[in-house]
Amino acid sequence: MNTYQILDALGVEINRIIATQDFIEQHHAGCFRLVSSPEVTPARPALSKVDVMRRITPAEWHIFTTSPDPVAIYALAVFNATTEVHPLDPLTVSLFDSLEQIGILGAGRAAEILS
């Protein structure tokens, strides 16, 4: 599985997903760009869910957990389904960056939370 940017007709990224090449070619033919391939990442301790919650302000947490935005709903489902957060995992980084892009987290907060 690789990380891909999904592009609009102008070549602007509209989404980032982790998928197989077959899936991308079947569902997004000609509208994607490979971002990264699986690789060994340096060891870095995982964060417990409580550690992550301690790094998010109460206001951010409230906005995150009550937002009707599909990105926030998906990110919350991933957070609820996991037992720990891996700060270098491409999906984790992408989701936290997306929460920043849609205004749930302030500028620079994704990096702060995952550091």
Instruction: Confirm whether 71 is domain-assigned.
Output: yes
Low-confidence stretches of the chain (pLDDT beneath 70): 37-43
CA distances from 73 to 32, 95, 104 (A): 24, 11, 12
- Pair 54, 29 in one domain: no
Total number of domains constituting the chain: 2
Instruction: Indicate whether 42 belongs to any domain.
Output: no
Q: What is the DSSP string of 71-91?
A: HHHHHHHHHHH-SEE-TT-HH
Residues 54 and 108 in one domain: yes
The residue segments making up the domain with residue 82 are 47-114
Question: How many Å apart are CA 91 and CA 21, to the nearest integer?
Answer: 16
Indicate whether 52 and 94 sit together in one domain.
Answer: yes
Question: Would you call 50 helix, strand, or coil by DSSP?
Answer: helix
70 and 91 in a single domain? The answer is yes
Same domain for 53 and 91? yes
Same domain, 9 and 51: no
Q: What pLDDT does residue 30 have?
A: 87
Q: What is the pTM of this model?
A: 0.62
